[in-house]
């Protein structure tokens, strides 16, 4: 063989080796980083808090007391505790020696009464402003008002991001005494800048001033925000048809619906996206992720639209359906022009080149299990809320295509209330999920139910965020 041929083969082998080495190196770095973050969190005020909680649960009051004395009182100050409520809180949540409880109570009261730093007061005020705007957002019931308020919210997020980024560049992430936990709330709410916040939070976790769960939650949200293909990618790959659906602004099904159905019938399967455009935005790269503040959810025109086209084989972007929350759909717009937004329905079909476009369930079941918070129940009830219907419909469609897959449906609760009652509630909820899937056409023998109560938490139950993550439904391949 000519020397040049041998050289090319050697280059190919070396290239493959380098690619494998780079991937192995990247995986090792990610693993090492994960260990470093976990160790840092374990030795922070957040780790000490969890350790005090764990020791309390096994009856070790001495160790629980030692760990709690290492917890920065600003951690509990964020929970809106006061000198009048701290003693009750400690008695109900920790098994402590009397001496430790009195000492920590005194330490907390001293911190509560201390003059707070300017940074602490600023981040607290920004966090409250941030939450007030979001609360106002939920209360708006007309689309024009919502659009204007959404613009205000995004503007406020950007102002807060600029301020926090400038602060971090000069001082690092705020200390707990400078409002770290309020800064975390600001960062978590601002989904647009999550990608910018994540590296800052990694350093903050390593410094012990941010809870690792905040970083993990933001990484989870950020990864989910990236699911699917954006519009600019799809138009380069697929043939497509576009339909104007502005009637939806008036809560009416679009006049073009018959043409949409005709196109879907002719080109099944298709990918469907509902997009919003304004005259100052030419790339259309905005999802109508949550659409129109119209309640109740079953009367939402977009829900009606999807219900009408659900009988077809549509690979709709999971973001559109999974982001329905409490009957409120919102329009995700960055444009400054809110006067004349337009709605377009895109149908993509006929690949211009080969492309694997696996469903969300294909991706999630690669590990034989996936967790969802998209199935929502009434408090302490088995009744599934209407906003869960789109997820269940999507799952049933996937199960029909993947007839070889059988699932274990397991319900999980937080630790509030009686443990025996929670076990029964979680099983009953799993049974209700199964009943809904059977109603949607799935053979009951393919579904097994299991109730786990609060026995398998994925996060600490000591915070509202942790409890929310623990209330979930899991699907496991049999």
249-282 pLDDT, tens per residue? Answer: 666 778 888 887 777 767 655 666 666 665 544 3
Task: Verify that 389 and 345 share a domain, yes or no.
Answer: no
Collect all residues with Cβ–Cβ distance below 8 Å to 362 and sequence separation of at least 6: 398
Q: Which of 42-46, 110-114, 360-364 has the lowest mean pLDDT?
A: 360-364
The CATH code of the domain that includes 439 is 3.30.1330.60
Last residue of a domain, one of 334, 351, 368: 351
pLDDT range class, residue 451, cuts 50, 70, 90? very high
Last residue of a domain, one of 196, 225, 254: 225
Spatial separation of the C-alpha atoms in residues 173 and 182, rounded to whole Å: 11
pLDDT at 168: 94
Spatial separation of the C-alpha atoms in residues 270 and 240, rounded to whole Å: 9
Q: Which of 119-123, 268-272, 308-312 has the lowest mean pLDDT?
A: 308-312
The verdict on residue 456 lying in a domain is yes
User: Structural domain tally of the chain?
Assistant: 5
pLDDT at 301: 55
Q: From residue 370, how far is each of 30, 113, 365, 396 by CA, in Å?
A: 22, 46, 6, 15
Task: Verify that 203 and 237 share a domain, yes or no.
Answer: no
Task: Verify that 372 and 463 share a domain, yes or no.
Answer: yes
Long-range CB contacts (within 8 A, 24+) of 217-220: 217/188, 217/465, 217/469, 218/187, 218/188, 218/194
pLDDT at 247: 79
The verdict on residue 36 lying in a domain is no
Considering only residues 355 and 112, tell me which one the structure prediction assigns the higher pLDDT: 112
Task: Verify that 185 and 124 share a domain, yes or no.
Answer: yes
pLDDT range class, residue 66, cuts 50, 70, 90? very high
Last residue of a domain, one of 96, 113, 130: 113
Neighbours of 256 (CB within 10 A): 19
Task: Verify that 178 and 205 share a domain, yes or no.
Answer: yes
Helix (H, G, I), strand (E, B) or coil at 471: coil
Task: Answer yes or no: is pLDDT of 5 > 70.
Answer: no
Task: Verify that 128 and 81 share a domain, yes or no.
Answer: no
Spatial separation of the C-alpha atoms in residues 108 and 450, rounded to whole Å: 42
pLDDT at 65: 94
Helix (H, G, I), strand (E, B) or coil at 363: helix
Residue 49 lies in domain: 45-113
The verdict on residue 37 lying in a domain is no
pLDDT at 71: 95
Task: Verify that 244 and 337 share a domain, yes or no.
Answer: yes
Q: Taking residues 371-387, what's their average pLDDT?
A: 81
pLDDT at 140: 64
Task: Verify that 204 and 291 share a domain, yes or no.
Answer: no
The verdict on residue 40 lying in a domain is no
pLDDT at 371: 80
Q: Is 426 in contact with 453 (CB distance < 8 Å)?
A: yes
Tokens of 92: 């109900």
Task: Verify that 109 and 125 share a domain, yes or no.
Answer: no
């Amino acid at each position: 063989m000519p020397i040049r041929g041998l050289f090319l083969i050697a280059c190919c082998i070396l290239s493959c080796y380098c690619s494998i080495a780079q991937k192995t190196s990247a995986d090792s770095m990610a693993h090492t980083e994960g260990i470093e973050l976990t160790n840092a969190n374990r030795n922070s005020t957040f780790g000490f808090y969890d350790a005090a909680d764990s020791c309390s649960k096994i009856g070790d009051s001495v160790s629980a007391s030692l760990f709690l004395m290492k917890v920065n009182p600003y951690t509990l100050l964020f929970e809106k505790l006061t000198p009048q409520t701290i003693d009750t809180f400690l008695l109900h949540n920790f098994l402590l020696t009397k001496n430790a409880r009195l000492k920590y109570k005194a330490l907390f009261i001293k911190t509560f009464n201390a003059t707070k730093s300017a940074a602490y007061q600023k981040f607290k005020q920004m966090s409250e402003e941030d939450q007030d705007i979001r609360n106002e957002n939920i209360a708006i019931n007309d689309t024009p008002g919502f659009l204007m308020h959404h613009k205000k919210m995004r503007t406020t997020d950007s102002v807060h991001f600029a301020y926090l980024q400038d602060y971090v560049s000069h001082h690092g992430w705020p200390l707990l005494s400078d409002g770290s936990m309020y800064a975390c709330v600001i960062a978590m709410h601002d989904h647009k800048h999550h990608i910018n916040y994540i590296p800052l939070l990694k350093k903050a976790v390593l410094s012990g001033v941010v809870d690792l769960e905040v970083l993990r939650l933001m990484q989870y949200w950020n990864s989910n925000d990236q699911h699917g293909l954006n519009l600019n990618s799809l138009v380069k790959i697929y043939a497509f048809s576009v339909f104007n659906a502005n009637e939806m602004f008036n809560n009416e099904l679009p006049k073009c619906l018959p043409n949409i159905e005709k196109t879907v019938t002719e080109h099944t399967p298709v990918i469907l996206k509902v997009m919003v455009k304004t005259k100052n935005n030419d790339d259309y790269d905005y999802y109508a992720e949550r659409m129109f503040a119209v309640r109740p959810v079953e009367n939402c025109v977009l829900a009606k639209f999807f219900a009408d086209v659900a009988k077809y084989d549509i690979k709709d972007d999971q973001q559109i359906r999974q982001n329905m929350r409490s009957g409120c759909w919102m329009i995700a717009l960055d444009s400054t022009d809110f006067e004349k937004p337009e709605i377009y329905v895109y149908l993509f079909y006929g690949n211009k080149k080969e492309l694997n476009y696996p469903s969300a369930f294909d991706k999630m079941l690669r590990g034989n299990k996936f967790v969802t918070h998209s199935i929502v129940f009434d408090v302490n009830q088995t009744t599934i809320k209407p906003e869960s219907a789109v997820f269940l419909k999507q799952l049933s469609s996937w199960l029909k295509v993947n007839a070889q897959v059988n699932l274990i449906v397991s319900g999980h609760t937080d630790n509030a209330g009686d443990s025996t009652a929670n076990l029964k509630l979680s099983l009953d909820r799993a049974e209700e999920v199964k009943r809904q899937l059977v109603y949607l056409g799935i053979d009951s023998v393919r579904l097994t139910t299991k109730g786990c109560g609060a026995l398998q938490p994925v996060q600490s139950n000591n915070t509202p965020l942790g409890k929310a993550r623990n209330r979930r439904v899991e699907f496991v391949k049999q």
